[in-house]
Chain A
Amino acid sequence: MKVIEQEQKAKVRYKINGQQYETEVEPRRLLVHVLRELGFTGVHIGCDTSHCGACTIIMDGKSVKSCTILGVEADGSEILTIEGLAQGEKLHPIQEAFWEKHGLQCGYCTPGMIMQSYWLLKNNPNPSEEEIKEGISGNLCRCTGYQNIIDAIKLAAERMKGQ
């Protein structure tokens, strides 16, 4: 096991949205802060207790709350953030659906909500309403009342069929 002193920084490498990054981080620094400092400010912080899901990203294929992971723990991993979801100017069907169904108001929970939806639909391309509710129950939204988010995920699922 590698031991890092408190004041010392550790070299880490990530592949974020398809691109390689190398940086030095303090061992105690949370992944969410590291990502934000690398410029991925679409990864939001909504709480300090892992309850809100605003910082949700995809790490090595799994949805994770990036506030519960240390930057050093994520060394070597492959990360997808909201900034990497669209293909150039072409929005991902989930993004399109959130727009169309008015699935956001203030937009603060939206990146985390969309990333969680992305993971949900990867694992369950045809979720029921109950499965959608269950699937996003770790992500808080204060504005929408969730119904339009649920409808957006349904619409995205519909459109992603056969893709």
Chain B
Amino acid sequence: MGYVGRPIRRKEDPKLITGRGRYVDDLELPGTLFMAIVRSPVAHGVLKKVDYSDALKVPGVVGVIAGLKVKVDNRPENFPMAVNELLYVGQPVAAVVAKDRYSAMDGAEAVQLDYEELQAVIDPEKALQSKGVVEGKAVAYEREYVSGDPEGAINSSPKKLEMKLRIGRVYASPMETRGVLSVYDGNSLTVYASTQSPHFMRRFLLDAFGGRVNNLRVEQADTGGAFGAKLFPYPEDYITVEASLRFKRPVKWIGTRREDFVSTYLSRDQVHKVRFGFDQRGTLMGLTDELIINLGAASHGYYLGDITATMLPGPYGVKNVRVNVVGVHTNTTPLDQYRGAGRPEATFVIERIMDYIADEIGADPVEVRKRNLVRELPYTNPFGLTYDSGNYQHLLERAGEAYAELERKAQALRTQGRRVGVGLCFYLEQNNFGPWESASVRVRGDGKVSVIMGAAPHGQGTGTGVAQVVADELGIDIDDVEVSWGDTSQIGEAFGTYGSRSLTLAGNAALLAARRLKDKVRALASEIMGTDVEELVYKQGGVENPKDGRRMELRDVAKFTVASMGGTWNFKSDPSLEVTEYFGLNNYTFPYGAHVALVEVEDDGSVKVLDYRAIDDVGVVVNPMLAQGQVMGGIIQGYGEVFTEEIKYDDQGNPLSTDFSSYGLPRAHHSFRVSWEFMEEGKSAAPLPAKGIGEGASIGSLNALVRAVERATKSRITEVPVRAEGLVRV
């Protein structure tokens, strides 16, 4: 029996449950110095002077760095440190390096900043009317997407609606904060990091430091969650490396949680002014959206506006669409991706529209969606994305049954006077952001198989999934397959883990490498056995000749290659039992699914989820236990985004959410049971036809929960988070 499709327990776990994980703060080399960052205390200002003379007198302080400048795309001039303009609270201004973290902190407290405060702009809509928010600019990005004749289609529609929707700003909140350990030996630089992409990190660090080091290796430490927030270049990455080059000692920086709150890229934060027209039967005819995305004090999050815009039509057939994306600067922590990355925002908007159409024409929300759903695949959406495969109608029918079932439950509860409601969300997700990923499959001399992949998982369990795939392909015991990742010296190039891509891309690379490896094994074995290679077949962990029944195990072939030291190699086949493959797909994959929630809104406005159903079609599910883990975790994150989490600022730009009391991460008592089912109708075009499930639940959960609350309270909800204050029974 194969491993693919079974809930195999994780190979990653033994070290993590015994305290033997090695996260970046657990790593230390002799002589390691600790770095503390001095950050801007104001949201906007002219920086006049950084006086660190007192810091140098603090016992244990080795040195201070100020005024460091590195040119990085889509980052401000004042990067990685403020040099003349303070752009947001939390922006690095100086770094103090000391013998340990306590003295580094002492030193940081002794650094004096001389600055003149400037007017800060915090509200993205006000930013549109402002000048000089960040280095003289207010608008950072503009792009218009148009297809068909949206205005004409809306104007000629029998019914029209306009509304403004808002998606609040959130913090990814991995339980491990960001951290870096940089080690320079006078020649080579090795950087250990809490990251989603060591190879990408190597490339962006080489851009900055390539002229000063001869070799650069990045090693991903065990990484305590990321959710998109540990992917792109951060100021502290450059500052830590600079410190290790300057002081010629290993330098470690580990963000405190308060630092992480103000320095880790935040996400979502979009305003949508939509106008749409539809007919009496609920068919969406035309849609326009003025999309404002609050990029904060850098512009690198602009692409999230593009993803949102191009996915705005979702799984529906509307042809006439215009989205005008405007990315504005504010004096806040820069914006970038968080689990879902643009697709939760797009889905929230289009699903709100479907619900409003249903309400306006008094129709069932499932029926309205059915009417609009794309029926034939592949289908190219108004902005050129080609939806690949699946059966949206079938999944929606299944979701409709769940919806009807929960509606019946809700009816019964309503008769008892309880405020309950059911919400549905159908989602379509764009995955497989590439362009490709790498994997190497190697049979070691002892016959054990080692897989090295370019993907860099950090909790998803991809190592186990890939081991299942390779063990099946080679017909060997999964315990004989070891999967590793995260070290740029182990595999040439790679991208990492983000965008629900790892199993699809690295999984397929590993699968193809294992396939080619079997040919190598056959070729070498045929010479050892003295048979024609065409007569040999690879079967269950070995090669055999069906004619004479002779068989050689994979491990015996491997052992043969290393059996003796010295002598000569007298075979035509080379002795290597290693194959590396780089795998890319020429289209995105588009998983889809539906979430249905039954909630009760208590008199005090708190929301209890009474029943929750999630149905996904992500192609082949390699490990249903891991997939379900992604779904359950994503749903609670969605719950947090809808009810408990939001990054807020006061009018001066002071962050009001800087710890886990002022920022409400869901706790165990918020959790609820999720019942999950999956279909495998929409397979990807890859040899391993999986599509990815890392983000689906954080996309599908928003509207399901919001709609359920809306129905329970007979209100109209146009923004997340939904505040309990607004739901109190009056």
Contacts and interface: CB of A to CB of B under 8 A. Distances in A.
Interface residues of A, number: 56
A47 B224 CA distance: 13
A66 interface: no
Given A45-B25, A145-B635, A148-B629, A82 B458 contact: no
A154 B6 CA distance: 23
Interface in A120-151: 132-134, 136-137, 139-150
Interface stretch (B368-376, B556-564, B658-666): B658-666
Residue of A33, A41, A106 with most partner-chain B CB within 10 A: A106
B18 interface: yes
A51 B177 CA distance: 14
Residue of B9, B12, B25, B633 with most partner-chain A CB within 10 A: B633
B176 A44 contact: yes
Contact of A140 (B13, B23, B632, B667): B667
State the majority secondary structure of interface residues on A: loop
A143 B224 CA distance: 9
A137 B227 CA distance: 22
Interface in A38-79: 40-49, 51-52, 54
B460 interface: yes
B346 to A, nearest CB: 23
Contact of A44 (B23, B59, B629, B667): B23
Interface in B634-690: 634-637, 659-661, 665-669, 671-674
A49 B257 CA distance: 8
Interface residues of B, number: 58
A102 B625 contact: yes
A142 B645 CA distance: 12
A30 to B, nearest CB: 10
Nearest to B638: A145
B570 to A, nearest CB: 44
Nearest to B223: A106
Given A105-B461, A108-B23, A136-B668, A142 B18 contact: no
B248 interface: no
Contacts of B22: 41
Contact of A145 (B26, B101, B636, B659): B636
Nearest to A114: B17
A105 B660 contact: no
B660 A49 contact: yes
Contacts of B20: 42, 83
B222 interface: yes
A52 B177 CA distance: 12
Given A51-B659, A99-B13, A149 B175 contact: no
Contact of B173 (A41, A105, A142): A142
Contacts of B101: 33
Contacts of B633: 105, 142-145
Contacts of B659: 47-49, 51
A78 B660 CA distance: 29
B661 A108 contact: no
A54 B18 contact: no
A109 interface: yes
Given A28-B102, A108-B174, A144-B629, 11 more contacts: A29-B102, A48-B256, A54-B175, A105-B460, A106-B222, A111-B19, A142-B175, A143-B459, A144-B636, A145-B635, A147-B632
11 contacts: A26-B102, A36-B25, A41-B25, A46-B177, A83-B20, A108-B23, A108-B175, A110-B17, A142-B174, A142-B637, A144-B629
Interface of B: 9-10, 12-14, 16-23, 25-26, 59, 101-102, 173-177, 222-225, 227, 254, 256-258, 458-461, 625-626, 628-629, 632-637, 659-661, 665-669, 671-674
